Structure 1
C-alpha cells in the first residue's frame, strides 16, 4: 500500500504517522506497544491512570515520566495504590518526577479503589473490553481519526457511575486506541492490523 499523506517512511523503510516518526521514545512506543491488546486488570488500570494524567498535556510528556510514575505509584498495582492515604498524596505532590496535579493524583487513588471493588463483578479489564465496537475506523489521514465514539461515551459514563474519575469520553477513546479495543493506525502504517483484533 502506498503511504498516505500523514505517514512518514523512516530510515528503516517502515511507514509511521508523523507523530511517531521523529522522537525515538514515541517511535519505540508506537512500534512495540501502542494499539496492542492489554486485557489484564493491572495493565488496564495503569493505562487509565496515565491517560488521566495526560489530560491537557502531550503523551510524550507522560511517556518520559512513566518510569517515575511507576516508582511513585507502586508500579500501579491496584491493591497497593488503593491503600494510599493523605500522606501519600502529599508525597506525590512533592515528587517532581511526575505530574503534580492533586485532582489527578486523587483520581488515580480513587480509581484503584474502584478497580478493586469491580472484582466482585466482572473486573475492570472485562468491563472496559465489553465496550469494544462492532467495527473500527480505517483512516487514511490523521484528520480522519475520531477523538471519541458512542462506545467511549458509554464507557466513560459507566466508569464514572462506578466511582472512576478523569475518564472522560476523549480520554477513554485514547485508552481504547492504546489497548487495542479500536485500531486507528493509518492504513498506510506498518502497524495497521498488527493487534490481531481487527482485520486490516
Structure 2
C-alpha cells in the first residue's frame, strides 16, 4: 500500500485522501466510523450506487444536492415516489442524472421497507454481515467475502446497483471494516469507536 499522507496538521492519514481537502474532512470525520442509523446507511448505499463508473469526490461534492433531491434519503418518502418524481430528478442538474440509478434508489427504498419489516431495521440486517476478526480482507482490497455475501443477498431480495465492489466501499465507509491504513492516525480512533459500538440486533417480524 502507499505510504500514509501527512495532512496540513502534521497527522498521517490514508493516502487516498491526499487528493483534496474535501476528502480530508470526510476521511477524518466519517469514513470507517461505525453507523447504525438506517437513514445514513440507506443514503450511503444509494450514493455508492450513483458512484458506479464515477469517482467518490464527484458524489461527495454533490451530496447536499442529493439529500435535497431525495428527501434527505427518507426511506418511506422515497418508496412512495412516482414516475413524476423520476422525471423531476432527471431534470435536476445538481445530481447525477442517470435514469437507471434514480429508479434503483426508488426500488431499493421499497426493498428497504421490506427489510425493516422482516429484520427490525436496515442496520440490524447490514451489521449481521460484519466480518469477524479471522475473515477480514487485506487492506485496500476492492471486494471482500462480506461484500460478496451481502451483495448476493441484496440482489436476491431485489436490490439494484449493489455489486460486490460497491458494497465493499459501503462496508468500509460505514465502519463494518476498519480499513484505515496502518500508520494512519485515524485507524486507532476508528478501532476505538468500533470497540464501544453497540451492534444492532435483529428482531424479526
TM-score of the superposed pair, with normalisation by structure 2: 0.88
The CA distance in 1 between the partners of 2:129 and 2:69, in whole Å, is 30
- Decide whether the 8 Å contact of 2:52 with 2:166 is kept in 1: yes
The CA distance in 1 between the partners of 2:7 and 2:159, in whole Å, is 40
1:11-41, Cα deviation, whole Å (9 max, x unpaired): 2111112321241111100010111111121
- Decide whether the 8 Å contact of 1:183 with 1:193 is kept in 2: no
- Structure 2 residue 47 is matched with structure 1 residue 35: no
Aligned residue among 130, 148, 166 for 2:128: 130
The CA distance in 1 between the partners of 2:138 and 2:188, in whole Å, is 10
- Structure 2 residue 73 is matched with structure 1 residue 76: yes
Residue 159 (structure 1) aligns with: 154
Q: CA deviation at 1:137?
A: 4.6
Aligned residue among 165, 173, 184 for 1:189: 184
- Decide whether the 8 Å contact of 1:138 with 1:186 is kept in 2: no
Aligned residue among 93, 99, 104 for 2:101: 104
When you count helix as a share of all residues, which structure comes out higher?
2
The CA distance in 2 between the partners of 1:97 and 1:25, in whole Å, is 18
SS in 1 for 2:54: coil
- Decide whether the 8 Å contact of 1:137 with 1:183 is kept in 2: no
Count of residues paired in the alignment: 191
TM-score of the superposed pair, with normalisation by structure 1: 0.91
The CA distance in 2 between the partners of 1:181 and 1:128, in whole Å, is 9
Q: CA deviation at 1:42?
A: 0.8
The CA distance in 2 between the partners of 1:70 and 1:187, in whole Å, is 33
Aligned residue among 11, 28, 32 for 1:14: 11
Gaps of 5+ in 1: 140-144
Which range moves more in the overlay, 176-185 or 127-136?
127-136
